[in-house]
């Protein structure tokens, strides 16, 4: 593998690690431990290296990078203090970025030699991110017993969604709400991708299909559910909680964690 491509993959992975530590695990966007300036400074240095590699690439590198099945991070310029905007943005990308990490793990050569400049930054970040995670977990432990829970029910007889004491008229056969109904029927239990795809009658489903083949289409239904909730007028905080409660089980499917509601 070309050294520049390997550097690109390494930088992509390190940027995801920082944002994962900063944004993941919160019950909603109003609880946040801001990353220290020590972390954000090094994040900016990694990001600059990443963007410089993209802007200065030759035709061969450009073609190789364009073929990589990775989410572009060019639009995320810094770890903003406007976390109530960035946490939902990060959650919307989370599943795709998890896939990126798996891809990089498979493709980055085991004998890859990290340039000294990048090695130093990555090493300095490691301990800082571990300390940040400790602070975050301490905050979350304090919040565990304070989070109000939101009731959630799909009433099939009346074709309504009951959420937090309010009702919303829905199209019961709409795939996003079939998806939600399937998860509600097995609260706390993982519903695998094939079972979801079959119940939703997705185009990708056929006898003998693998979870990997239909994973992306099921993920799109989850995204569509959040958009449908927004169009119904469901408050952003409740949509964010539902998004967090629908937890992916890597390589298997989804489960609905009502404790997160």
In the prediction, which pLDDT does 139 show? 77
DSSP three-state, residue 66? helix
Q: Is the pLDDT of residue 76 over 80?
A: no
And the tokens for 115?
């340039």
CA dihedral sign of residues 72, 77, 79, 80: negative
Q: Are 188 and 255 in contact (CB under 8 A)?
A: yes
In the prediction, which pLDDT does 226 show? 93
Compute the distance between CA of residue 75 and CA of residue 57 in angstroms, rounded to an integer. Answer: 18
Q: Is the pLDDT of residue 78 over 70?
A: no
pLDDT per position as a tens digit, 125-169: 988 888 888 888 777 777 655 544 457 888 887 888 888 778 899
Q: Who has greater pLDDT, 62 or 100?
A: 100
Name every residue whose Cβ is closer than 8 Å to that of residue 129 and which is 6 or more positions away in sequence.
17, 18, 21, 39
Residue 126's Cβ-count burial label (10 Å; 0-12, 13-18, 19+) is: exposed
CA 233 → CA 27, 97, 228, distances in Å? 20, 28, 9
- Classify domain 152-260 at the CATH class level: mainly alpha
> Considering the chain, what is the average pLDDT of its residues?
80
In the prediction, which pLDDT does 29 show? 54
Count how many Cα atoms sit within 13 Å of the Cα of residue 2 in the half-sphere of its side chain.
12
- Mean pLDDT of the 19-24 span: 81
CA 130 → CA 2, 65, 186, distances in Å? 31, 30, 35
The alpha helices in the chain, defined as continuous H runs, are 3-23, 37-55, 59-67, 83-107, 116-143, 175-185, 193-200, 211-232, 236-245
Q: Give one word for 164, left, alpha or beta, with left for phi > 0 and alpha for psi -120 to 50.
A: left
């Amino acid at each position: 593998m070309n050294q520049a491509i390997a550097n690109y993959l390494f930088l992509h992975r390190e940027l995801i690690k920082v944002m994962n530590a900063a944004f993941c695990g919160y019950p909603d966007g109003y609880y946040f431990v801001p990353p220290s300036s020590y972390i954000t400074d090094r994040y900016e240095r990694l990001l600059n290296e990443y963007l410089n590699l993209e802007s200065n690439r030759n035709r061969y590198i450009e073609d190789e990078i364009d073929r990589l099945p990775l989410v572009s991070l060019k639009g995320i310029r810094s770890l903003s203090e406007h976390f109530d905007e960035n946490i939902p943005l990060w959650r919307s990308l989370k599943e795709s970025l998890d896939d990126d990490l798996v891809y990089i793990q498979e493709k980055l050569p085991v004998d890859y030699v990290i340039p000294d400049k990048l090695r130093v930054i990555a090493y300095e970040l490691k301990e800082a991110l571990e300390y940040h995670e400790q602070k975050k977990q301490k905050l979350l432990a304090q919040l565990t017993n304070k989070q109000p829970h939101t009731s959630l029910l799909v009433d099939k007889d009346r074709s309504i969604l009951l959420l937090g004491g309010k009702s919303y008229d829905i199209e019961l056969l709409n795939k996003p709400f079939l998806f939600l109904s399937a998860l509600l029927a097995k609260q706390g239990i993982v519903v695998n991708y094939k079972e979801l795809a079959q119940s939703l009658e997705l185009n990708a489903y056929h006898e003998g299909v693998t979870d990997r083949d239909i994973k992306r289409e099921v993920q799109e239904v989850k995204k569509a559910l959040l958009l449908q909730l927004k169009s119904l007028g469901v408050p952003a905080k409740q949509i964010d909680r539902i998004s967090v409660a629908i937890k992916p089980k890597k390589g298997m499917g989804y489960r609905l964690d009502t404790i997160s509601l």
